[in-house]
Structure 1
Amino acid sequence: MTTLPQNRAGIGIAFILIGIFCISINDMLIKQLSGGYPLHEIVFVRSAIGLMITLCIVQFEGGWSILRTSTPWLHATRGLLIVISNMSYFVALAALPLADATALFFVAPLFITVLSIPLLGEKVGPLRIGAVLVGFIGVVIMQRPWADASELEVSRLVLLLPVLSALTYALNQLMTRKLGVTSKASALSVYIQVTFILVSLLFFLVAGDGRFAEGTTNPSLLFLLRAWVWPAPEDIWAFVGLGLNSAAVGYCLSQAYRSADAATVAPFEYAGLPLAVFWGWAIFAELPVLEVWVGIILILSSGLFVFVREQQKARVISRGKVKLR
């Protein structure tokens, strides 16, 4: 029987906060580039740069031998899940304001907290479950189910894409927790970077000439199917930044979820919400509508409550250990 790695909450929280900051930079840069480049080209360049950096980290964590695995299909499944998560989110990002897309995606930590119960056997009490339900209510409000389709700036399908992204992301991170028993964070990151490169090359072979984008005006479809073009000089540093961020995100998220319980780490991903609002305002002059503000408040509140309950639980366990000595 395989046991889960030791729960090192402090290390897991530190890595998730660094990873979320890098993700906020990544999302901002991709939204900036979405009007002139295809998604699969951006993914290929950032993953290629990220892979080179991650392979250097591999040398510090044990060398080429740590890339060997007895569960290649599990790693391939994990890689495909994160590719689906990224692609669906970035396609939505081309049409949605940054804060809206990020806020809708933040059903992911709620999925992680709930799914960690049946998939990992982790214990989540009724108060934390109640907080998760409050967070889900916030997501529903942001979906605005009462609004007529003509009142929405984008289609309901686009609004659901970040939720699909969140679900596949949650499943990916729960798999990371299991695979982290035998795999280093850098190895887990390498497998994901390679998957991104293979999928983006497949997109290039099928749609890289842009023939499927002809006559399309939908910004999400254009972002997905636009022809490859050589980056303009002023955009090269944005591509380099994406590559550096890709390496940092892949390593930090893998390290976070292999270091601590998923239900402990997940709430700290909410730090991405205020960061998304800031970048949306500072770079794109966007501010969320009322429904999005309400959803953000509910999700942040539920996340903070889950964190407080986790800390209370840890203190009780710690006092119990002291009494036994």
Structure 2
Amino acid sequence: MTQLAASAPLSRPAVAIGFVLVGMAAISINDMLIKHLSGAYPLHQMIFTRSAIGLVFTLVLVQLEGGFAILKTKTPGLHLLRGLLIVLANMSFFTALAVVPLADATALFFVAPLLITLLSIPILGEKVGPFRLGAVAVGFVGVVLMLRPWESELDVEGGRLVLLLPVIGALCYALMQVLTRKLGGTTKASALAAYIQTTFLLVSLGFFVVAGDGRFADGFDNASMKFLLREWIWPQGQDIYYFIALGLCAAVVGYSLSQAYRTADAATVAPFEYVGMPFAVFWGWIMFGEWPAPVVLAGIVLILGGGLVVFLRERQKQKRLAISRRAIRR
């Protein structure tokens, strides 16, 4: 019984919500910086730099939460899978950022919380009622609006295939966060973040070994592929500070989201990730002069609306549980 209790998932929704809000603010800055730097540096160089810096700060948190002993795990395979999923999620999303407006890419990626709600049913055994399932369906209608399958051509380099990259990233991200909830009962947030940063480092080093000289980039005209395969160069001027900022954001995001998803139900935490959408619109407008087209805005509204319904239903469920518990105590 003691062992089962020790490995049971935590349930502190207020704390989890605070962490996810901090994490989403850091993600919005991270995405803006990567898009800003995408015309001059390769994606794998940014990922290596931010992960190396982020890992240093993460290891400090590891020391504060119990020392290097907490990095020991009985489930290395699941942690590796979790790390690879977030690597795929980031690579897909960031590759799209080179040519897709920041708000558009972010909105498409925000199908992830809806996917988390769905995946929490078979993987975590969480109960999701018809209202929340209906909200998920509304969100997916928003995704379809943004993909615009009725248009033969889109004003995005690479077309519809590039627009699908954030959705693919969202699926990988959703699977990763469901695994975070599954592993969070026995693993500290700093350890979860350290595993992810290490995976990013290894994958980006692999890219450097294979394509770090840029020899594969010359065969492509597409900006996304050039962003993925461009040669490494030393950051110029103030860009070095942007790279450092990426590392700080990586540390904050890795710890905050790991802590959020290990301390509350996935369906409770996921809807709060939508606060990142206004951030994306803001940064897109301020930094790149981008404003979503009307059909994109309609898709955003549907996706956000679906997420809000999920949140409201979850809050009602929590209130009913609290009332029933008080009644039992009496």
Q: TM-score, normalised by structure 2?
A: 0.96
Distance (whole Å) between structure 2 residues aligned to residue 300 and residue 319 of structure 1: 29
Counterpart of 1:66, as a letter, is: I
Task: Give me the identity figure in percent.
Answer: 63
How far apart, CA to CA, are the structure 2 residues paired with 1:104 and 1:116?
20
Can you list the C-alpha shifts for 1:150-192, whole angstroms capped at 9, x where unaligned? 5555322111100000000000000000111111000000000
Q: Secondary structure at the match of 1:282?
A: helix
- Structure 2 Cα separation of the partners of residues 55 and 87 of structure 1: 24
Q: Which runs of 4+ in 1 moved over 3 A?
A: 1-4, 150-154
CA distance in 2 between partners of 1:78 and 1:311 (Å)? 28
Paired residues, what number?
325
In structure 1, what is the Cα distance between the partners aligned to 2:59 and 2:154? 49
Q: Quick check: 1:47–1:243 contact (8 Å CA) kept in 2?
A: yes
**Does the CA-based 8 Å contact 2:106-2:280 persist in structure 1?**
yes
Amino acid in structure 1 at the alignment position of 2:322: S
Q: Does 1:100 align with 2:104?
A: yes
2:255 equivalent to 1:251: yes
Amino acid at match of 2:279: L
Structure 1 CA distance for aligned equivalents of residues 22 and 158 of structure 2: 31
Aligned match of 2:87: 83
CA distance in 1, matches of 2:58, 2:47: 16
On the 8 A contact 2:117/2:128 being kept in 1, the answer is yes
Equivalent AA in structure 2 for residue 166 of structure 1: A
User: What does 1:18-97 correspond to in 2, within 5 Å?
Assistant: 18-97=22-101
Point out the more displaced range, 147-156 or 241-250: 147-156
The two structures have a TM-score, normalised by structure 1, of 0.98
Shift of 1:215: 4.2
Are positions 1:225 and 2:238 aligned together? no
- Asked if the contact 2:121–2:128 (Cα under 8 Å) also holds between the matched residues in 1, the reply is yes
| CA distances 1:103-146 after superposition (whole Å, capped 9, x unpaired) | 11011001000110011000111111111110110011000010
Equivalent position of 1:315 in the other structure: 319
Whole-Å Cα distance in 2 between the matches of residues 206 and 74 of structure 1?
Answer: 26
- Give 2:133's aligned residue: 129
Unaligned runs of 5+ in 2: none
Contact kept, 8 Å, 1:4 with 1:178, in 2: the verdict is: no
Structure 1 residue aligned with 2:151: 147
Q: Determine if contact 1:96/1:154 at 8 Å carries over to the other structure.
A: no
Q: What one-letter code is carried by the residue in structure 1 that aligns with 2:229?
A: L
Distance in 2 (CA, whole Å) between partners of 1:287 and 1:227 is 31
**Is contact 2:10-2:185 (8 Å) kept?**
no
Structure 1 unaligned regions, length at least 5: none
CA contact (8 A) 2:158 2:222 kept: no
- SS of aligned partner of 2:103: helix
Aligned residue for 2:11, secondary structure, equals coil
Which string of whole-angstrom CA distances, capped at 9 and with x for unpartnered residues, describes residues 77-121 of structure 1?
110000000001000001100001001101100100011001100
Q: What is the root-mean-square deviation of aligned Cα atoms in Å?
A: 1.2
Would you say the 8 A contact 1:46–1:242 is kept in 2? yes
Tell me, yes or no, if structure 1 residue 207 matches structure 2 residue 211: yes
TM-superposed CA distance for 1:198, in Å, is 0.5
Match of 2:173 in 1: 169
